[in-house]
């Protein structure tokens, strides 16, 4: 299973983290520090797998962002690379040419998309179209709620 997902940029700034196994807040920041150090120090034409504390970390760089997922020793590395790619494609489709700023300002959206893709550390939806539809449906639900809220704000004024 996937133990966690980390997204960070070339400067080591974290853009998204999602933990499917239990790590305390302290462990989380330690893991992130350790892994970004390892991953950022690796050159561009090397393989995308790093053995780490008996687990494997699969990472891939898209523009200035590194997407890393930590998997078990006997999990399939190539499959995980596919999942990462899948996620990136979905972000790209959702934000229309995704860039780092999109993820910075819409960090919760990035989480919601990830939640549709993975659940309990397992891939749960491999169809991009389905995910796009689900995310859009939920967005519209949120929108209606927000409209109501702003209506309320107007009333108060």
d(Cα 51, Cα 132) in Å, to the nearest integer? 33
> Shortest Cβ distance from residue 112 to another protein (Å)?
8
> Shortest Cβ distance from residue 92 to another protein (Å)?
20
DSSP code, position 152: H
> Shortest Cβ distance from residue 12 to another protein (Å)?
12
- In DSSP terms, 57 is beta-bridged to 50, 70
Helices 107-117 and 77-95: angle between axes, nearest 10 degrees: 130
Shortest CA distance to 38 belongs to which of 59, 19, 62, 22? 59
Interface contacts to another protein, rule CB under 8 A: 1, 14-17, 20, 22, 24-25, 28-29, 32, 43, 45-51, 72, 74-79, 81-82, 104-105, 107-108, 111-112, 115, 119-120, 122-127, 130, 134, 137-138, 141-142, 145-146, 148-149, 152-153, 156
């Amino acid at each position: 299973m996937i133990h966690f997902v980390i997204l960070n940029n070339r400067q080591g700034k974290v853009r998204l983290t999602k933990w499917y196994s239990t790590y305390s807040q302290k462990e989380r920041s330690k893991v992130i520090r350790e892994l970004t150090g390892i991953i950022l120090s690796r050159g561009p034409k090397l393989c995308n797998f790093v053995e780490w504390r008996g687990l494997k970390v699969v990472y891939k760089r898209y523009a200035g962002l590194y997407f890393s997922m930590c998997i078990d020793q006997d999990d399939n590395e190539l499959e995980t690379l596919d999942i990462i790619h899948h996620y990136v494609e979905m972000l790209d489709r959702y934000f229309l040419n995704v860039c780092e700023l999109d993820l910075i300002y819409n960090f919760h959206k990035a989480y919601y998309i990830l939640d549709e893709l993975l659940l309990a550390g397992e891939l749960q939806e491999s169809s991009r179209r389905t995910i796009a539809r689900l995310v859009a449906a939920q967005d519209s639900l949120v929108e209606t709620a927000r409209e109501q809220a702003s209506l309320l704000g107007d009333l108060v004024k």
